[in-house]
Chain A
Amino acid sequence: MHTHAPARGFYWLEGLQHAGALNRGRGRQFYLGGSMSTDREEREEFTGYSRRGFMQFIGVSAGVVGTTLLSQPLLRDLQAAQGVSVMSDASATRILLRVNSRQYDLLVEPRWSLLYVLREIIGLAGTKIGCDRGECGACTVLIDDIPRYSCMTLAVEAENAEITTVEGLMKGEELGDVQSAFVEEDAFQCGYCTSGQIMAVEGMLRKTPSPEPEEIQKGCSGNLCRCGAYQNIFAAAEKASRHKK
Chain B
Amino acid sequence: MAGNDTIYYREGLPVPETPGADADPEQWKKTDVVGKPLPRVDGYERVSGTAQYPSDIVLPGMLYAAILRCPHPHARVLSVDTAKAEKMEGVRAVLSGSSEEANGIQWKYNDQTVPLFDPHCRFEGEAVAAVAADSWYQASDAIRSIAVEYEVLPFVVDHEKALQNDAAKVGGEDNLISEDTYSRGNTNRGFADAHMVFERNYTTSCELHTPLELHGCVASWDRDRLTVWESSQGVYGVQSRIAEALGIPLSKIRVANHYMGGGFGSKLWPGKYTLISVLLAKISARPVKMLLSREETYLCVGNRPASSMQLKAGVKKDGTITALEFGCTGPSGAYPAGGAQLVDWLIRDLYLCDNVSTSSKDVLINAGPARPFRAPGHPQGAWALEQMIDEMAVNIGMDPLEFRLRNIPEASQARGGKPYTKTGLRQCLEKGAEEFGWKQSLQRVREFNENHNHTRRGIGLGSCLWIAGDGGPPSTVIIKLYRDGSINLNMGASDIGTGTKTVMAQVAAEELGVQPSVIQIEYADTATTQFATPSGGSKTVPTEAPTVRSAAIALKRELLKMAAEELEADVTDLVYQGEWISIRGKGEKLKVAEIKGLQKRGEVIGVGYRGPNIDDKVINPFAAQFCEIEVNMRTGEVKILRFLGAHDSGRVLNRATYDSQVYGGIVMGIGFAFTEFRKLDSRQTGKLCNKNWHDYKLPTAMDVPLQTVSLPIEIDDPEANNTGAKGLGEPVTIPTAPALANALYMATGIRFTRAPVMPMDIIHQLSTQHEG
Contacts and interface: CB of A to CB of B under 8 A. Distances in A.
Contacts of B47: 166, 175, 179-180, 182-183, 188, 191, 194-195, 198
A81 B692 contact: no
Interface stretch (A40-48, A50-58, A131-139): A131-139
Interface residues of A, number: 93
Contact of A2 (B41, B60, B702, B709): B709
Contacts of B41: 15-16, 19
A162 interface: no
Of B33, B40, B47, B261, the most chain A CB neighbours within 10 A belong to B47
B60 A226 contact: no
A175 B516 CA distance: 21
Given A125-B58, A130-B213, A221-B700, A234 B660 contact: no
Contact of A131 (B52, B515, B693, B708): B693
B736 to A, nearest CB: 10
Contacts of A124: 49
A15 B515 contact: yes
A66 B213 CA distance: 21
Interface in A17-75: 17, 19-21, 23-24, 26-27, 29-30, 63-67, 69-70, 74
A183 B44 contact: yes
A156 interface: no
Given A26-B56, A87-B89, A189-B262, 9 more contacts: A2-B711, A19-B43, A19-B45, A24-B48, A70-B61, A120-B58, A167-B49, A186-B39, A227-B212
A149 interface: no
A60 B91 CA distance: 15
B42 interface: yes
Interface in B439-487: none
B301 interface: no
B294 A133 contact: yes
27 contacts: A1-B707, A1-B709, A6-B36, A12-B517, A15-B516, A15-B517, A19-B42, A19-B43, A23-B50, A23-B51, A63-B134, A63-B135, A65-B135, A74-B60, A112-B137, A116-B136, A128-B55, A135-B294, A165-B49, A170-B49, A186-B37, A189-B499, A190-B262, A194-B46, A226-B209, A227-B660, A234-B706
B29 interface: no
Nearest to A67: B61
Interface string B12-54: 0000000000000000000001001111111111111111110
Query: Shortest 4 CB-CB distances between A and B: which pairs?
Result: A126-B49, A15-B517, A192-B261, A228-B667
Contacts of A184: 39
B61 A131 contact: no
B293 interface: yes
B212 A190 contact: yes
B497 interface: yes
Interface residues of B, number: 84
A127 B48 CA distance: 10
A189 B212 contact: no
Contacts of A213: 706
A125 B44 CA distance: 15
A220 B50 contact: no
A96 B701 CA distance: 35
Interface string A99-143: 000000000010110001001100111111111110110100000
Contacts of B90: 63-64, 83-85
Nearest to B86: A83
B674 to A, nearest CB: 13
B334 to A, nearest CB: 25
Given A129-B55, A224-B212, A135 B693 contact: yes
A128 B702 contact: no
Contacts of B212: 128, 130, 136, 138, 190, 192-193, 224-227
Given A4-B656, A20-B42, A227-B262, A12 B61 contact: no
A89 interface: no
A191 B43 CA distance: 9
Nearest to A69: B60
A233 interface: yes
Interface string B653-667: 001110111011111
A13 B656 CA distance: 13
A13 B38 CA distance: 7
Contacts, number: 276
B704 interface: yes
Interface of A: 1-2, 4-6, 11-17, 19-21, 23-24, 26-27, 29-30, 63-67, 69-70, 74, 78, 81-85, 87, 109, 111-112, 116, 119-120, 123-133, 135-136, 138, 165-167, 170, 175, 179-180, 182-184, 186, 188-195, 198, 213, 217-218, 220-221, 223-234
Q: At the interface, is chain B mostly helix, strand, loop or mixed?
A: loop
A112 B135 CA distance: 10
Interface in B510-547: 515-518
B291 to A, nearest CB: 7
B707 A126 contact: no
A205 B153 CA distance: 55
Given A16-B44, A192-B211, A226-B698, A128 B261 contact: yes
B214 interface: yes
B498 interface: yes
Given A220-B701, A228-B704, A66 B515 contact: no
A109 B40 CA distance: 40
A29 B59 CA distance: 10
A47 to B, nearest CB: 20
Of A12, A19, A123, the most chain B CB neighbours within 10 A belong to A12
A192 B53 contact: yes
